[in-house]
Amino acid sequence: MSKPIKAIIVGAGHRALIYASYALERPDKLQIVGVADPIESRRKKAQEIHKFPDHMMFTSAEELASKGKLADAVINGTMDNQHVETTLPLLEAGYDVLLEKPFAVNEEEMWELYEAAKKYKRTICICHVLRFAPFYSEIKQRILNNEIGDIINIQLTEHVNYHHLAVSYITGKWGNEEECGTTMLMAKCCHDMDIMVWLMNHTRPKYVSSFGSDFQFDESKKPQGAGTRCMVDCEIEEECLYSAKKLYIDHPDRWSFYVWDELEDSGAPLTIENKIKSLKTDNRHGRCVWDCNHTVVDHQSVLVEFEDGSTGTLNMIGGSSKEDRTIHIIGTTGEIEGVLGESKYVVRKIDPRPGHEYSEEEYTLDVDGDASGVNGTHGGGDLRLVADFVDLLSGETPSVSTTSIEDSIMGHHLVFKADEARVNRQVVEIDTKDL
């Protein structure tokens, strides 16, 4: 047996700790041997979980890189606009990298990382975890088996429910494009755009158009009587669907890793009293959703034309009652349609016999964890991603879901051009000749 891959966490937030948990399930495959994070409480939390010594705790990626190569790989879970700046010195130091998405917040960063990966000959796997969900990987295999013929059209939808929208993309870290560095399409839907180009990687996107806006939460639509903080000066809190009390006190654990992170980092006990106090004072999630410097869109539609003439659509709608992702792929001999949250899909095939129209088979997957992805498992894809990364570094053959940095660049490039098309209200041509 090969020795386990040794990895260091860089940015010990929610996502990186989920990926690192694979080491607890398979210590024979992966060991976490250190952490780099500017927040002491997060360093200590990672140390408590993975039992590494004090001298393997660092305050930054730069400090870690300055020590030379201390492990095989890094799990980089820093914030979006820190991904490239923290990864570059680690590549130079000799680390392979499992890098959270989006791996870049603009095209210049994207190409810089790509060139660095080539220069230092390091492996970078982007955390496009949906590829690894059995729901999508099975659909990919059926496409490869030519079960529905040549693809004419692929339709993706993502419904972001109201409380997920609020905690992440209105009052949360990704609610203001200038602060977080990414658009809503990149922060939330680079998964989906990656799925589109991955399922369609027999061809390449050629043109894209896109439309979207902040339909619900523009300050001009602030209801009469609404205040600045839900639990301080709002006259309509009791009837508001987006009341911080309803979202975070009545459901204190649902988004605890986002809402109470600063409270936890301060060392204060996570009592209901302290949570209420934080929402009334300095907690960003206690702000009114119509008065929180929110700048990103809450819905967006993307239309893609591929080089072979096929087309694809993605519709992201924030504020839905139920969160889910759906897919419908229509080919020349059949189609595949499914719902991620139900872990079910249907394969239909044209049947022109008298008395028939089509045949249909339904497939239900047995997936551990939360299929919708709300609690961070992404249809069972999270730890399957890490398992593939470890296998790749160990010299084993990874699954069909693991592809090159070039594949990930294709999806990101499409997102950048889709947002350009939305802002400028035009059809944008996609140039991928450099890949």
- Per-residue pLDDT tens over the stretch 141-196: 999 999 999 999 999 999 999 999 999 999 999 999 998 889 999 999 999 999 99
Give yes or no: residues 186 and 211 share one domain.
yes
Pairing of β 334-339 and β 324-331: antiparallel
Most trustworthy range by pLDDT among 45-59, 172-186, 248-262, 357-371? 45-59
Range in 131-140, 189-198, 404-413 the model is least confident about: 404-413
Query: Is residue 388 one of the residues assigned to a domain?
Result: no
| pLDDT range class, residue 434, cuts 50, 70, 90 | low
Structure token pair of residue 5: 């891959």
Mean pLDDT of 123-129: 93
* % the chain with pLDDT above 90: 85
Query: Is residue 386 one of the residues assigned to a domain?
Result: no
- Pick the closest to residue 32 from 130, 98, 79 (CA basis): 98
Query: Is residue 157 one of the residues assigned to a domain?
Result: yes
Alpha-carbon distance of 233 to 288, in angstroms, equals: 10
Q: How many domains does the chain have?
A: 3
Give yes or no: residues 304 and 182 share one domain.
yes
Amino acid 431: pLDDT: 82
Mean pLDDT of 402-426: 92
Give yes or no: residues 211 and 227 share one domain.
no
Give yes or no: residues 282 and 298 share one domain.
no
Query: Is residue 65 one of the residues assigned to a domain?
Result: yes
Amino acid 157: pLDDT: 98
Amino acid 367: pLDDT: 64
Q: Output the pTM of the full model.
A: 0.91
- Per-residue pLDDT tens over the stretch 194-210: 999 999 999 999 999 99
Which CATH number fits the domain that encloses residue 163?
A: 3.30.360.10
Amino acid 406: pLDDT: 81
Amino acid 377: pLDDT: 60
In the predicted structure, residue 61 carries a pLDDT above the cut 70: yes
| pLDDT range class, residue 432, cuts 50, 70, 90 | low
Query: Is residue 390 one of the residues assigned to a domain?
Result: no
Order across the sheet with 5-10: list the strands: 57-58, 30-36, 5-10, 73-76, 96-99, 124-126
CA distances from 156 to 92, 217, 255, 339, 425 (A): 38, 24, 26, 10, 21
The rounded mean pLDDT for the chain is 93
Spatial neighbors of 76 by CB under 8 A, at least 6 apart, are: 10, 11, 16, 61, 83, 86, 87, 90, 97, 98, 99, 100
In the predicted structure, residue 376 carries a pLDDT above the cut 50: no
In the predicted structure, residue 373 carries a pLDDT above the cut 60: no
Amino acid 372: pLDDT: 40
Amino acid 375: pLDDT: 42
Query: Is residue 382 one of the residues assigned to a domain?
Result: no
- Per-residue pLDDT tens over the stretch 293-330: 999 999 999 999 999 999 999 999 999 999 999 999 99
Sign of the torsion angle spanned by Cα atoms 383, 414, 183, 78: positive
Give yes or no: residues 187 and 330 share one domain.
yes
Give yes or no: residues 38 and 186 share one domain.
no
Mean pLDDT of 327-355: 96
Give yes or no: residues 25 and 92 share one domain.
yes
- Last residue of some domain: 97, 127, 157? 127
Query: Is residue 435 one of the residues assigned to a domain?
Result: no
Give yes or no: residues 66 and 189 share one domain.
no
Range in 264-268, 275-279, 359-363 the model is least confident about: 264-268
Give yes or no: residues 204 and 316 share one domain.
yes
For residue 237, the enclosing domain spans 219-286
Q: Is residue 244 classed as helix, strand or coil in its secondary structure?
A: helix
* % the chain with pLDDT above 70: 96
Amino acid 1: pLDDT: 56
Alpha-carbon distance of 148 to 350, in angstroms, equals: 9
Give yes or no: residues 256 and 371 share one domain.
no
Give yes or no: residues 250 and 307 share one domain.
no
Query: Is residue 76 one of the residues assigned to a domain?
Result: yes
- Last residue of some domain: 286, 305, 331? 286
- Per-residue pLDDT tens over the stretch 70-83: 999 999 999 989 99
Which CATH number fits the domain that encloses residue 15?
A: 3.40.50.720
Ramachandran region, residue 321 (left: φ > 0; alpha: ψ -120 to 50; beta: rest): alpha
- Last residue of some domain: 110, 127, 144? 127
Give yes or no: residues 253 and 147 share one domain.
no
In the predicted structure, residue 368 carries a pLDDT above the cut 60: no
In the predicted structure, residue 371 carries a pLDDT above the cut 70: no
